[in-house]
A and B are shown apart, each in its own frame.
Chain A
Amino acid sequence: GEDVEQSLFLSVREGDSSVINCTYTDSSSTYLYWYKQEPGAGLQLLTYIFSNMDMKQDQRLTVLLNKKDKHLSLRIADTQTGDSAIYFCAENLKSFKTIFGAGTRLFVKA
């Protein structure tokens, strides 16, 4: 079946790197996404990676994709208190079908 799993909580100190991990089951996904949800708001696209890529870097964000293990990770360098939010991993299977993980709540301690 189609499933996306991620750990529910992560706590880091300000200035450290955060690594949020995700595993997915459907190997037919074409794009994998990371969305960020701040309190009281909807999800906003943070970054994405095409399934034939291994890595994508965008300023403080690094996405790593291990297609063999169906493992996706999001690294946030120099984590700031403003990065505290819920991060959702999602895989796009068809143009109208996106499967979301349960979300990882990132706590950043000052």
Chain B
Amino acid sequence: NAGVTQTPKFRVLKTGQSMTLLCAQDMNHEYMYWYRQDPGMGLRLIHYSVGEGTTAKGEVPDGYNVSRLKKQNFLLGLESAAPSQTSVYFCASSFPGNNSPLHFGNGTRLTVT
């Protein structure tokens, strides 16, 4: 039981390049999320999904796209990376319901130069 797995762990991009961050969970969770973590700002929700084939915008969606083609996978794409997207990105998943805590991956550290 691996939980939530994110790849890659680290990445350096040049401004304007694109990339996709991969997230996989093996807990049969319906909900999946992408957060970014910046110093002093906690976690901010980028996009989330409440089921296969569905996605929705979170607090800071601009510059990112997502896809949930399979229940266990949630992909985060950056089409044209900017230095402001330098951050640590966390994927999380949960069951539906108010008392369903989030299960997090170990994060992807992205630097955009």
**Contact B98 A31, beta carbon cutoff 8 Å:** yes
Whether B40 contacts A95 by the Cβ 8 Å rule is no
Interface size on B, residues (CB 8 A): 24
| Chain B residues closer than 8 Å to A35, beta-carbon distance | 102
Residues on B with C-beta less than 8 A from A41 are: 106-107
B83 at interface (Cβ–Cβ under 8 A)?
Answer: no
A42-B98 contact given A4-B42, A8-B40, A88-B43, CB 8 Å threshold: no
Excluding A42-B90, A44-B104, 6 further A-B contacts by CB distance (< 8 Å) are A8-B40, A31-B99, A42-B92, A43-B92, A96-B33, A98-B102
> Among the listed B90, B101, B103, which residue makes an inter-chain contact with A48, where contact means beta carbons less than 8 Å apart?
B101
Chain A residues near B74 (CB-CB < 8 A): none
Minimal beta-carbon separation of B57 from chain A (angstroms): 12
Q: How far is the CA of A103 from the CA of B50 in the complex (A)?
A: 26
CB pair B107–A30 under 8 Å, yes or no, is no
Chain B 48-89 interface mask (CB, 8 Å, partner A; 1/0): 101000000000000000000000000000000000000000
- Number of residues of chain A lying within 8 A (CB) of chain B: 25
Residues of B at the A interface (CB closer than 8 Å) are 4, 31, 33, 40-43, 45, 48, 50, 90, 92, 96-107
Which residues from B are CB-within-8-Å of A44? 104
**How many residue pairs, one in A and one in B, have C-beta atoms under 8 Å apart?**
55
Q: With the chains together, A96 CA to B94 CA distance in Å?
A: 9
Provide the bound-state CA to CA distance between A43 and B43, in Å.
10
Are B98 and A30 interface neighbours, CB within 8 A?
yes
Q: List 5 A-B contacts (CB under 8 A).
A: A35-B102, A42-B104, A45-B102, A96-B48, A100-B42
Q: What string of 1s and 0s marks CB contacts (under 8 Å) between A74-110 and chain B?
A: 0000000000000010001011111011110000000
> How far is A61 from B2 in the complex, measured between Cα atoms in Å?
27
- Min CB gap A65→B, angstroms: 15
